[in-house]
């Protein structure tokens, strides 16, 4: 078997493949909570098939807050259709693999007057998921209607240049970095991020701290809490960086936001929203406020830097963000770990899980009628699994597994079966019995980890590459993907792949086997294409 722990490289200096580029020019009328926005998207087709359209997710449409006035493609007006929160913009001619298209949209927003990640509160306007964003392509466009359970978002990394003009004096917490600020006009840039969010308010007061090379900016509505927020944020950015991999962005903004009671917080790349009713005592150790900040900051690694399908595989980021602060306690503050573990996971666990239907951790958002049972299964039960996985592997192997996981999937989209496969490769213990108790993945029924291998030529891959795949169990189909690009789909073989149309850059090669009983296995390796 190929041990990916030996094959996962550290963060590479190789160039990334081309990324979509969003330009957003927004004008805000603060008292009305209304915006007029001009959006342009330059999109590279890395799907491997011709595309006749771009498909966007438009979350504001769920609230009746979105009105599209114009759409053009490659400089000419075009036809568009909208079905709920899904927007199709037709292209004048099919977009060939490796080619670029430019789509421009003109729209207005009426932000709903209700506290929320996209909403107006007494002191803040939160602009999370506020613009149309291209959905992933996975053997077809990832069409889904937004639902108000969990975080029903799935996006891939892109570059953003954002300009915000306001009609009053405000401060802005933001993803990315501030390029310029001239009076009431701000310009921001964010590179290789999954989304771009803002929180604006005339009431913010800023506190700062430094974590390694990253600047931490806290935008507080309660000025006396700003330095406390900054101290907690600094602690966790430092520790997560040393444990999982260096914080990937130049800045982290932490903003107090008018969120619904008991909502907690919300994560975006380089920006976390913390409910303005959050209590953060001094000292904060062991408090819910400290845990909440630590949870949302953990999402900078698990959701933001390492992406996942948050609709179908929400445990992959939420369970990780739930367990990460507890892992800190386990390794750094063992005296606090039992009480924090009880408060966040084990207190009333059996009754909560039973009331939530004892669903498997790998349940999707569509399996839950509301946030309550979703939190119980995906967060608590998911964290319980990770705690037992940590116990089984041992702390050293578990932490190395997570470091290799981040190194493998940073700026990409992870999959749960590849995650579990990588965990298995970091331990001699058979993880199938543990996985079978928490997941409904068929491979967990194997009496021992199934033996199979994928061998990739050393060094950068050229225009052609032979990938050797073998397995000691009956295989129905093999699929090989390079990020979104399906390279092979057929019987088990060692195919020679044509990479000549794939732009140079770093990719994740995903091998997906389906056995004759229908169980799915996945293994991933980071590769560089250079020709």
pTM to 2 decimal places: 0.95
pLDDT of residue 9: 41
Mean pLDDT of the chain: 95
- Maximum C-alpha span of the chain: 67
Parallel/antiparallel/unpaired status of strands 86-95 and 51-57: antiparallel
Nearest CA to 378 out of 57, 154, 117, 151 is that of 151
Query: 222 phi and psi, to 5 degrees?
Result: -115, 95
pLDDT, one tens digit per residue, over 444-465 is: 778 889 999 999 999 999 999 9
Q: Is 474 exposed, middle or buried (0-12, 13-18, 19+ CB in 10 A)?
A: exposed
Nearest CA to 87 out of 102, 68, 108, 64 is that of 68
What residues are paired with 26 via a beta bridge?
37, 164
With a cut of 70, say whether residue 504 has pLDDT above it.
yes
With a cut of 90, say whether residue 185 has pLDDT above it.
yes
* Domains annotated on the chain, with CATH: 21-298 (2.60.40.1730), 315-429 (1.10.390.10), 450-529 (2.60.40.2550)
pLDDT, one tens digit per residue, over 338-357 is: 999 999 999 999 999 999 99
Distance of CA 433 to the CA centre of its chain: 28
Q: What is the 3-state secondary structure (H, E, C) of 84-149?
A: CCEEEEEEEEEECCCCEEEEEEEEEEECCCCCCCEEECCCCEEECCCCCEECCECCCECCCCCCCC
Cβ atoms of 109 and 66 closer than 8 Å: yes
pLDDT of residue 6: 33
> Residue written as tokens 């060094």?
459
Q: How far apart are CA 472 and CA 349, in angstroms?
A: 39
pLDDT of residue 263: 86
Place 471 in a pLDDT band, splitting at 50, 70 and 90.
very high
Give the C-alpha distances (Å, rounded to integers) separating 265 from 16, 118, 175, 215, 277.
31, 12, 15, 20, 10
pLDDT of residue 141: 98
- Percent of the chain at pLDDT above 90? 93
Distance of CA 500 to the CA centre of its chain: 30
Strands in 205-289 per DSSP E:
205-211, 214-220, 251-257, 265-268, 271-275
Q: What is the mean pLDDT of residues 309-331?
A: 98
Mark residue 411 as left, alpha or beta (left: phi above 0; alpha: psi -120 to 50; beta: remaining): left
pLDDT, one tens digit per residue, over 39-94 is: 999 999 999 999 999 999 999 999 999 999 999 999 999 999 999 999 999 999 99
Place 14 in a pLDDT band, splitting at 50, 70 and 90.
low
Cβ atoms of 237 and 252 closer than 8 Å: yes
Distance of CA 276 to the CA centre of its chain: 24
Among 2-11, 339-348, 366-375, where is mean pLDDT lowest?
A: 2-11
């Amino acid at each position: 078997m190929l041990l990916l722990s030996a094959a996962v490289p550290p963060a590479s200096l190789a160039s990334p493949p081309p990324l979509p580029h969003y330009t957003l020019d927004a004008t805000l009328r603060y008292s009305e909570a209304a915006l007029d926005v001009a959006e342009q998207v330059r999109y590279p087709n890395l799907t491997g098939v011709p595309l006749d359209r771009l498909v966007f997710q438009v979350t504001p449409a769920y609230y009746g807050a979105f009105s599209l006035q114009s759409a053009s493609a490659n400089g000419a007006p075009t036809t568009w259709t909208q079905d709920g929160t899904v927007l199709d913009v037709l292209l004048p001619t099919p977009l060939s693999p490796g080619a670029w298209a430019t789509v421009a949209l003109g729209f207005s927003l009426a932000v709903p007057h209700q506290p929320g990640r996209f909403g107006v509160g007494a002191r803040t306007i939160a602009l999370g998921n506020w613009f149309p964003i291209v959905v992933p392509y996975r053997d077809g466009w990832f069409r889904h209607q937004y639902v108000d359970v969990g975080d029903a978002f799935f996006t891939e990394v892109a570059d953003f240049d954002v300009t915000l003009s306001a009609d009053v004096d405000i401060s802005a917490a933001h993803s990315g970095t501030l390029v310029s600020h001239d009076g009431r006009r701000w310009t921001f840039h964010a590179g290789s991020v999954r989304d771009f969010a803002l929180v604006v308010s005339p009431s913010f007061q800023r506190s700062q701290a430094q974590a390694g090379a990253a600047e931490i900016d806290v935008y507080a509505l309660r000025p006396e809490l700003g330095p406390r927020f900054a101290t907690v944020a600094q602690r966790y950015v430092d520790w997560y960086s040393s444990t999982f991999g260096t914080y990937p962005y130049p800045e982290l903004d932490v903003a107090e936001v008018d969120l619904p009671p008991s909502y907690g917080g919300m994560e975006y790349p380089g920006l976390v929203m913390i409910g303005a009713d959050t209590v953060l005592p001094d000292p904060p150790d062991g408090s819910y406020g400290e845990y909440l900040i630590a949870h949302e900051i953990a999402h900078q690694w698990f959701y933001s830097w390492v992406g996942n399908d948050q609709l179908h595989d929400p445990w992959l980021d939420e369970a990780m963000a739930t367990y990460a602060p507890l892992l800190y306690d386990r390794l750094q503050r063992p005296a606090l770990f039992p009480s924090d573990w009880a408060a966040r996971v084990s207190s009333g666990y059996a009754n909560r899980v039973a009331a939530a239907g004892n669903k498997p951790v790998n349940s999707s958002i569509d399996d839950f009628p509301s946030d309550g049972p979703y939190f119980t299964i995906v967060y608590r039960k998911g964290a319980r699994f990770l705690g037992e996985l940590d116990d089984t592997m041992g702390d050293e192997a578990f932490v190395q597994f997570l470091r290799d996981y981040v190194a493998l999937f940073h700026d990409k989209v992870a999959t749960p079966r590849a995650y579990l496969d990588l965990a298995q490769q970091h331990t001699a213990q058979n993880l199938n019995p543990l996985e079978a108790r928490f997941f409904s993945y068929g491979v967990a029924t194997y009496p021992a980890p199934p033996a199979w291998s994928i061998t990739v030529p050393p060094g950068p891959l050229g225009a052609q590459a032979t990938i050797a795949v073998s397995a000691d169990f009956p295989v129905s189909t093999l699929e090989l993907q390079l990020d979104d690009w399906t390279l092979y789909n057929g019987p088990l073989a060692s195919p020679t792949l044509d990479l000549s149309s794939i732009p140079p850059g770093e990719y994740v090669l995903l091998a997906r086997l389906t056995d004759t009983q229908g169980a799915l296995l996945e293994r991933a390796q980071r590769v560089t294409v250079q020709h």
